[in-house]
Amino acid sequence: MKLLASAGTMAGALIHELKNPLGVIHLNLQLISEQINKGDVPDKSYLNKKIDVLIKQSDTLNRMMADFLDLIKEKQLKLEKTDIIGIISDIENEYSALLQNKGISFIKYFDKKNIFLICDRMLIKQAVVNIINNAAEALSASGRQDKTIYVKAGHYRNFVRIEITDSGPGISSKMIGKIFNAYFTTKPSGTGLGLPLTKRIIDMHGGTITVNSELGAGTQVLIDLPRKR
């Protein structure tokens, strides 16, 4: 699937996707600045945690730019034994401040102590981040009091299932059939490439992504990845 038809489209898509990690970097730098400007001796563990987030997000930016520039080429997956719980915990650590700033709660649940999978860790993380970001944007625009994103992971038949559910306004049945189409978006500033890219990542891993939703009842996204490759 050729997602980028021109250099201009590629640049627009790249800018859109960079907003996620750049937002995290900006907020964490702001939090560090506030800690320093209090006049007290900054808490070392707090600063180390924030700096760790900044380093990880910088790594994500580098990988994202490389992936976008290489998007039209066939990529080799960088497969490694990965703990899905570790991916979701990293996302919570890196994005919790940003979500809390929008009044959104992040709740996670795992049915095992470890959920291992052979996958490309960075790409699976990016796919999950894309879905969480979509949920956060829908919740922020909904005006609802209950703004919650639930992330659950566990074994389902021969798959590892990642389930992301939000308490947002939901998606109409007419729209669900279009959300994975390249360039389709209902957001004024969107490029319509976030979810198609997410689906491509899941397809590359031999998995499936399913969206269940209805207006007024929130949205559930199910990612099923084969446990054996």
Instruction: Give 149-207 pLDDT, tens digit per residue.
Output: 999 999 998 999 999 999 888 888 888 888 877 556 665 444 456 787 888 899 999 99
User: What pLDDT, on the 0 to 100 scale, is given for residue 42?
Assistant: 66
Instruction: Look at residue 66 and give its three-state secondary structure.
Output: helix
Q: What is the pTM of this model?
A: 0.71
DSSP 219: E
User: What pLDDT, on the 0 to 100 scale, is given for residue 152?
Assistant: 95
Please indicate, yes or no, if residue 149 is contained in any of the structural domains.
yes
User: What pLDDT, on the 0 to 100 scale, is given for residue 4?
Assistant: 46
Domain count, the chain: 1
Domain region containing 200? 7-226
- Token digits of residue 19: 């907003």
Tell me how far CA of residue 140 lies from CA of 122, 143, 169, 188, 214, in angstroms: 26, 7, 10, 15, 18
Please indicate, yes or no, if residue 120 is contained in any of the structural domains.
yes
Computed over every residue of the chain, the mean pLDDT equals 83
- Cα distance between residue 192 and residue 179, in whole Å: 8
HSE value, Cβ hemisphere, 13 Å, CA-based, for 195:
25
Cβ burial 57-71 (10 Å sphere, 16+ → b, else e) = beebbebbeebbeeb
For the chain, list residues with pLDDT below 50: 1-4, 6, 188-191
H-helix segments, 78-158: 84-101, 121-142
CB distance 30 to 97 below 8 Å: no
Give the distance from CA 224 to its chain's centroid: 16
Please indicate, yes or no, if residue 64 is contained in any of the structural domains.
yes
CB distance 216 to 169 below 8 Å: yes
Please indicate, yes or no, if residue 2 is contained in any of the structural domains.
no
CATH number reported for the structural domain that contains residue 196 in this entry: 3.30.565.10
- Cα distance between residue 166 and residue 188, in whole Å: 21
Please indicate, yes or no, if residue 1 is contained in any of the structural domains.
no
User: What pLDDT, on the 0 to 100 scale, is given for residue 175?
Assistant: 84
Please indicate, yes or no, if residue 140 is contained in any of the structural domains.
yes
Please indicate, yes or no, if residue 181 is contained in any of the structural domains.
yes
User: What pLDDT, on the 0 to 100 scale, is given for residue 178?
Assistant: 80
User: What pLDDT, on the 0 to 100 scale, is given for residue 88?
Assistant: 95
